[in-house]
Amino acid sequence: MARFPRIPDLLTTANLACGVGSILLASQGQLTLACWLVFAGAFFDVLDGLAARALGGGTPLGVQLDSLADMVTFGVAPGMVLYLLAGVPLGSQLVVATMISASAPPVDTMLLWMQLIGIAVACIIPIASAWRLAKFNIDTRQTDGFLGLPTPANALFWASAGLGLQHLSPEYAVHLGAVSSVGPWMLIVVAVLLGVLMLSSIPLPSLKFQHFKWQGNQVIYLLLGIGAVLVVLYGILAVPLILLLYLLSPLWGKLFPKQPA
């Protein structure tokens, strides 16, 4: 007799559905909705963890399902966002630059190169995310914290970047609409740097509460508190600032004494 899925697994499936929807919308150029679905997927990702702990812990099936869902929502979906933000504008810029040269290749060849450039850019995040998730699944050192930037944090950065750049410059995500000629290049450099951070061994705190006392949870409480203030002040643009604060937390977290074992 088939077993009815557990609530955490259903929540993980909702995360997966958000990722698939984000990819489909991004493929149609619907950047705003695609980005919001990444945030929705992150919300379900938090809920499935809470539900699993409330029910006494996860299952081997749930662990595998969670990684697969994360790969879609926090790997492929933000890769599509980067494709719209940098891959398409960069490919278009290079094609325009080639067309004005004396020895311009045929239009079909230029369009092919534009597509290949966009695909190469879009692969940066999914490849780094796949390696990150695979390493996490076999690394027994990451039970109480993370080694390297978690994939959800990276994905939320790109989702907020997509929404923020449209807010600052609504025409950015429209094919040729780059803020400047260096805009796509800057985003690609950031994508590579964040990919390196995902694959690094930099110790970063987990935001999961083992208890709700101040002692031992100082970093989490400060991240949540300062993050909430930044969101009130800057809205969606606060996410990159929160990510920077999170990346620096191993430094300022040393101000607090470790909780005795």
Domain-wise residue ranges, the chain: 7-208, 209-261
pLDDT on residue 173? 43
pLDDT on residue 260? 47
3-class DSSP state for residue 12? helix
3-class DSSP state for residue 147? strand
Tens of pLDDT, residue by residue over 14-46, are: 999 999 999 999 989 888 899 999 999 999 998
225 vs 245: CA distance, rounded Å: 12
Degrees, nearest 5: CA angle 242-245-249? 135
**CATH 1.20.120 describes domain 7-208:** yes
242 vs 238: CA distance, rounded Å: 6
Of 73-77, 103-107, 160-164, 180-184, give the range with the top mean pLDDT: 73-77
pLDDT on residue 137? 81
